[in-house]
Amino acid sequence: MTEKIPANSRLGSLEYDPAPESASIARLKSSYGLFIDGSFSDPSQHEQFVTLNPANEEVLATVAQASNADVDHAVQAARRAYETVWSKTTGAERSKYLFRIARLIQERARELAVVETLDNGKPIRESRDIDIPLAAAHFFYYAGWADKLGHAGFGANPRPIGVAGQIIPWNFPLLMAAWKLAPALAAGNTCVLKPAETTPLSALLLAEILQQAELPPGVVNIVTGDGSTGAALVEHAGVDKIAFTGSTAVGRLIQQRVASSQKRLTLELGGKGANIVFEDAPIDEMIEGVIDGIFFNQGHVCCAGSRLLVQESVADEVLRRLVRRVEQLRVGDPMDKNTDVGAINSAAQLARIQELTAFGEGEGATRYTSSCELPDKGYWFAPTVFADVSQSHRIAREEIFGPVLSVLTFRTPEEAVAKANNSSYGLACGVWSEKGSRTLWVAQRLRAGVIWANTYNRFDPTSPFGGVRESGFGREGGRHGLEAYLDV
């Protein structure tokens, strides 16, 4: 061959034309009421606030701000439903309701995925292929526990707790609703769910699904609103159990607020996940896993692998490949099927990411940021890698909750473990090595609720998820996930 050899080969030179998913399936209303006791209230009865599409800052709809009175109304409905209907419903019947809900989610999957992407900013590929299927699967899994609770290892006839107040975050809106509702209902509790302020829409669509499933009124109530709605729910005397997923700061407040009550509590909070890469890691899959660990869902993941701990002997090569891979990430319109990284969920979150990243540069870390073009409107942050980070840097300790990776090095397995554990968090870690005994040795010593070996960000309804230390307590998923909702 006598071809002139070019100095480099450009990745992604075959340009993919825009491949937008159609938003018309969403059929959003212009304004929403609250879902209490089986029906939607009249939106005009409530103060309304807007929910935006973070990709273009356009208003999607207005939703109701639930007042203290509304929260009280919802809790009363949940209590009535518990006492008169749900606690008298057999496990076999509860099971069939949950199977119906799961099936309906599957049937309306496309609609749910589009709504989720419009409201949250995550790529349609992710809501379609991950969020919605996992949400359906979660309901399927817990449907199958409802009629066999005596086999779950909590005694022959475990009873539910009563009324559960559940507060969920904006990063996986529908999936987090599924993680809360499915086990609670399977165990026989009734619920009052408060979706996040910036992502209420998929929960409201779920409410329609609950109606289609003919779930008895009051078994699930959905109250939208801001932090004050959540506070009202936490403090309501008629709630027997609180489940919260969100930041450690708010989790701390909640734990303080319920301290002198008898309320049961589970918390799923923040993290600063360490992705530990040994020199014998399977290199290409490891790069994908590290990338996925921090850029999946724009890094808005409590268990994100936001710290890369790479063995010093391979650090340069790993960094080179990482940076090359970062440049390939397609950042843009979340409704485009080829988009890898979508929008930041809100102006507030974007400001926080920018602040911490600027601080990181100031601390002396070396910054690599993708040269991708960002749209003019909407909230966007280009994927960023910081190298030469040390444990004392703020960007190595604080949760950024955005597409920013901090890279540190280590020399021995012990040092890797020590650095990984050097955090007040303890949610998730990754370990990359082809040597099984070492992976297990490291896993045994990591203080984390979830450890991924040669993979990252894998979720399954059967697999318990949750943290240690300031990442919270309690587990969601699996047999263990029932414990939070049983009186055992």
Partner 1 sequence: MSTAPLRLVGNDDYGVKIPASSAAPAIESETQLRALLTALSGVDAVGLEARAAKLATRSIKKSTKMAAIDLAISMVDLTTLEGADTPGRVSSLCAKALRPDPRDLTVPSVAAVCVYPDLVAHARSVLGSAPVAVASVATAFPSGRASLAVKLLDVREALAAGADEIDMVIDRGAFLSGRLGQAFEEIVAVKGACGDAHLKVILETGELVTYDNVRRASWLAMLGGADFIKTSTGKVSVNATTPVALVMLEAVRDYAETTGRIVGVKVAGGIRTTKDAMKYLVLVNETTGSTWLTPHLFRFGASSLLNDLLMQRLKQRRGAYVRPDEFSGD
Partner 2 sequence: MSDSRLDVRKTYKLLINGAFPRSESGRSYEVASAGGEFVANMAQGSRKDLRDAVAAARVAQVKWWGSSAYNRGQVIYRLAEMAEARRAELAEHVALAEGLSIKKAERSVARAIDRVVWYAGWTDKIAQVYGGANPVAGPFFNFSLPIPSGVVGIIASQESSLEGFVDAALAPIAAGNVVIVVASERRPIPGVLLGEMSATSDFPAGVLNVVTGITSELAPTLASHEDVDGIDLSGVTGDAANDLNAAAASSIKRVFRPRDGDGADSTRRLRAFIETSTVWHTIGQ
User: Residues in the site for partner 2, rule: CB under 8 A?
Assistant: 92, 95-96, 99, 137, 140-141, 143-148, 150-153, 412-414, 436-438, 440-441, 444, 461-462, 478-479
The secondary element (H helix, E strand) that includes residue 285 is: helix 283-295
Which residues lie below 8 Å from residue 129, measured CB to CB, with a gap of 6+?
A: none
Residue corresponding to tokens 């990063």: 171
User: Per-residue x/- mask for partner 1, residues 74 to 113, rule CB under 8 A?
Assistant: ----------------------------------------
Among 367, 447, 479, 480, binds partner 1 (CB under 8 A): 367
Rounded Cα distance between 151 and 148, Å, is 6
Q: To which residue do tokens 């075959």 refer?
A: 14
Selected binder of partner 1 within 42, 57, 214, 285 (CB under 8 A) = 285
CB atoms within 10 A of CB 181: 29
User: Which of 125, 180, 307, 393 is close enough to bind partner 1 by CB under 8 A?
Assistant: 125
Q: Which of 21, 126, 197, 268 is catalytic?
A: 268
By a kind-dependent CB cut-off of 5 to 8 A, residue 22 interacts, out of partner 1, partner 2, none, with none
The residue within the footprint of partner 1, chosen from 47, 58, 434, 460 (CB under 8 A), is: 434
- The residue behind tokens 């817990």 is 142
Catalytic residue chosen out of the listed positions 126, 191, 197, 302? 302
Alpha helix segments (H runs only) across 62-148:
68-84, 91-107, 109-120, 124-126, 132-146
User: Residue 14 or 259: which CB sits closer to partner 1?
Assistant: 14
Which does residue 479 touch among partner 2, partner 1, none (CB within 5 to 8 A, set by kind)? partner 2
Binding to partner 1 by residue 170, rule CB under 8 A? no
Whose Cβ is closer to partner 2: residue 140's or residue 473's?
140
Phi–psi pair at 367, nearest 5 degrees: -100, 130
- Residue 148 near which of partner 2, partner 1, none (CB within 5-8 Å, type-dependent): partner 2
Active site annotation includes 208: no
Question: Residue 403's Cα: distance from chain center in Å?
Answer: 15
285 binds, among partner 2, partner 1, none (CB under 5 to 8 A by kind): partner 1
The residue among 383 and 472 lying less far from partner 1, judged by its C-beta, is 383
- In the bound state with partner 2, the residue whose beta carbon lies nearer, of 95 and 471, is 95
Instruction: State the binding partner of 434 from partner 2, partner 1, none, CB within 5 to 8 A by kind.
Output: partner 1
**Contact by Cβ (8 Å): 86, 220:** no
Q: Is 438 in the site for partner 1 (CB under 8 A)?
A: no
Q: Please, which residue, 153 or 364, has the CB nearer to partner 2?
A: 153
- Residue 40 burial (10 A CB sphere; 0-12, 13-18, 19+): middle
Applying CB under 8 A, the span of 73-81, 223-231, 285-293, 392-400 interacting with partner 1 comes to 285-293
C-beta separation of 455 from 430 below 8 A: yes
Structure tokens at 406: 């901090």
284 binds, among partner 1, partner 2, none (CB under 5 to 8 A by kind): partner 1
Burial of 382 (0-12, 13-18, 19+ CB in 10 A): middle
- DSSP label of 149: G
Strands (E) in 318-453, as ranges, are 366-369, 384-387, 404-410, 428-432, 450-453
Partner interacting with residue 354 (select from partner 2, partner 1, none; CB below 5-8 Å by kind): partner 1
Give the start-end residues of each E strand in 420-470.
428-432, 450-453
Torsion of CA 292, 173, 179, 167, to 10 degrees: 120
* Residue 371 lies near partner 1 (rule: CB under 8 A): yes
Active site residue 302: yes
For 312-423, strand residue ranges (E) read 366-369, 384-387, 404-410
* CA neighbor of 193 nearest in space, from 205, 208, 203: 203
Tell me which residues touch partner 1 (CB under 8 A).
Answer: 1, 3, 5-19, 125, 129, 280-286, 288-289, 316, 319-320, 323-324, 326-328, 337-338, 354, 357, 367-371, 374, 381-382, 384, 434, 454-455
Active site residues: 268, 302
